[in-house]
Amino acid sequence: MSAADRRPHRRRRTLGASRSAGPGDVDRRPLSRSHYRSRSSAMTTDLTEMYRRWLYEAWGAGDVSVAEELIAEDLVDHNRLEGQPQGRAGDVWAANMVRTAFPDLRFELDIAFSNGEYVTGRWTMTGTNTGPFEMFGLPPTGRPVTMTGQEIFRVRDGKFVEVWHQEDVPTMLSNLALDPPPFVMRMAAKRSARLYRREQRRSPEPLARVG
C-alpha cells in the first residue's frame, strides 16, 4: 500500500441545502443584491418610522418621552425661531408653543423618504387658534389655519442629531388675518441673504442684486 493510500480520507464539507452549517463552517458565498436591497429598505423604513413618530407622537401628542427617545440632547437646529433654545429642549419648546396656540391641531404626513443617513418629510397641519401664540405675542384669534412644512433630519446612532426645516408661515399668518411681525421679516431677510450668498458661490457668473 502506498503512502497516499494510507492517508486518512477527509470528507469534503460544503455548505449546501442538504445540511446546516456547523459552528466552524463559514459561508463565503457573496451576498446577493437582493440582500443589500432588503437591508437598505429596512434602514429606510426605520428612519421614516422615526420621522412619523416624531411628527405624530412628539409634536402632535406632545409626548416628551418620545422626543427624548428620538432626538439627541445636543440636536443642531439650523433654522431656529427667535428665542428658541438649541438642542432637544428647543424642539420640545417649539412643539409646546404650537400646541398651546392650536390645541386641536392635527398633522397629516404627506410624504417621507430616507437614504439611510438622512430622512426628509413634508406634512400638513390644521388647527384652530384658540390659545395664545407666544411666538407672536398675540391673543387667540379663533381662526382656523392650514399650514405645510418640511424637515430634513440627519440621523446618527438612532437619534436625530441635525435638522433643517421650513414652514409656510406666510400662509398661516394669512389664515389668522395677521401681518408678519418684524422678527419674521428679519428671518426672511436673513434666509434670502444666505440663499444669495450660496448661489454666488455656486454660479460662475456673479448674480445681480435686485433693487
In a domain, 149, yes or no: yes
Rounded-to-integer distance, Cα 106 and Cα 146, Å: 10
In a domain, 183, yes or no: no
The pLDDT of residue 26 is 45
Rounded-to-integer distance, Cα 118 and Cα 122, Å: 14
CATH number at residue 59: 3.10.450.50
- Which pTM does this prediction carry? 0.66
β 159-167/71-77 pair status = parallel
Rounded-to-integer distance, Cα 97 and Cα 81, Å: 11
The pLDDT of residue 82 is 78
Bridge partners for 148 per DSSP = 124
Q: What is the mean pLDDT of each run of 10 residues along the chain (211 residues)?
A: 53 42 49 44 74 97 96 95 90 96 97 94 97 85 96 96 93 82 57 60 48 40
In a domain, 85, yes or no: yes
- Cβ count within 10 A of residue 34: 8
For the purposes of burial, counting CB atoms within 10 Å of the CB of 30, is it exposed (0-12), middle (13-18) or buried (19 or more)?
Answer: exposed
The pLDDT of residue 206 is 45
Count of domains observed in the chain? 1
